[in-house]
């Protein structure tokens, strides 16, 4: 990964400094740069995010080359479509997305849904929802939203003046009502916007 060496040096970082940022040893960074070892997918995403490049650029390959017609994206641990639950856990797997839907920049990921509060939007228990990471939303967007620092929920976003409602798509559930002040203070913030859903049969 000669490109990694170029990016690191352009930032004026030593291998030790980069290793400390990533939680790996200096020798591991050296092996990555010399092509003796290949970072795992999760680490590749960290590197791409850190240096603000795509994974394809980091690996110096044409976009989508390794994934054929698509790109592999991480699937994060459960996000509850129902009452808010613990937010994102570690990566639990990988799922392909078409290049027209996402890229390897680290801005896209899947979240696995638990619960049925969004069933009328076609999002069911176990669905994988493709999320584009961003901290804002338009009325009508389905968003992944974190509340109180350790809770996450998937709901439809609706703002009316100073009030923000996170709306379920199931009449058995109640909306979550927040204020703009909750977002300004950091009590609540948007993790990303849902782009599409994949429901696996098994």
Profile the chain (202 residues) by mean pLDDT over runs of 10 residues. 87 92 90 82 80 77 49 72 48 73 73 90 91 91 86 89 96 94 91 86 54
Q: What are phi and psi of 96, to 5 degrees?
A: -80, 145
Enter the tokens of residue 106: 């680290």
Q: Name the CATH superfamily, with its identifier, for domain 70-198.
A: Umud Fragment, subunit A (2.10.109.10)
DSSP state at residue 120: G
Among 148, 147, 144, 146, CA closest to 156: 144
pLDDT for the residue 116: 92
Which residues neighbour 170 within 8 Å (Cβ) at sequence distance 6 or greater?
116, 117, 118, 119, 120
pLDDT for the residue 182: 93
pLDDT for the residue 103: 66
What is the DSSP pairing of strand 108-114 with strand 70-80?
A: parallel
What is residue 14's three-state secondary structure? coil
Taking residue 51's Cβ as centre, other Cβ atoms within 10 Å add up to: 19
What are the sequence ranges of the domains in the chain? 2-58, 70-198
97-124 CB burial, b ≥16 within 10 A, e <16: beeeebbbbbbbbbbbbbbbbbbebebe
Which residues neighbour 60 within 8 Å (Cβ) at sequence distance 6 or greater?
1, 2, 3
pLDDT for the residue 34: 85
**Active site members:** 117, 155
pLDDT for the residue 89: 47
Q: What is the dihedral of CA 169, 159, 133, 194, to 10 degrees?
A: 20
pLDDT for the residue 87: 39
Residues 2-58, CATH architecture: Orthogonal Bundle (1.10)
């Amino acid at each position: 990964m000669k490109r990694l060496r170029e990016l690191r040096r352009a930032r004026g970082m030593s291998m030790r400094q980069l290793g400390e940022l990533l939680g790996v040893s200096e020798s591991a960074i050296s092996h990555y740069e010399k092509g003796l070892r290949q970072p795992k997918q999760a680490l590749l995403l960290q590197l791409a995010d850190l240096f603000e490049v795509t994974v394809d650029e980091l690996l110096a390959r044409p976009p989508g080359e390794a994934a054929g017609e698509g790109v592999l994206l991480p699937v994060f641990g459960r996000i509850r479509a129902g009452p808010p639950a613990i937010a994102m856990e570690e990566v639990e797997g990988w799922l392909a997305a078409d290049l027209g839907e996402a890229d390897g920049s680290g801005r896209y990921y899947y979240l696995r849904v638990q619960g049925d509060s969004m069933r009328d939007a076609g999002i069911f228990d176990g669905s994988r929802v493709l999320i584009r990471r961003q901290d804002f939303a338009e009325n009508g967007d389905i968003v992944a939203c974190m509340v109180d620092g350790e809770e996450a929920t998937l709901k439809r976003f609706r703002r009316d003046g100073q009030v923000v409602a996170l709306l379920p798509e199931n009449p058995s559930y109640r909306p979550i009502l927040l204020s703009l002040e909750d977002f300004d203070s950091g009590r609540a913030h948007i993790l990303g916007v849902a782009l599409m859903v994949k429901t696996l049969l098994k």
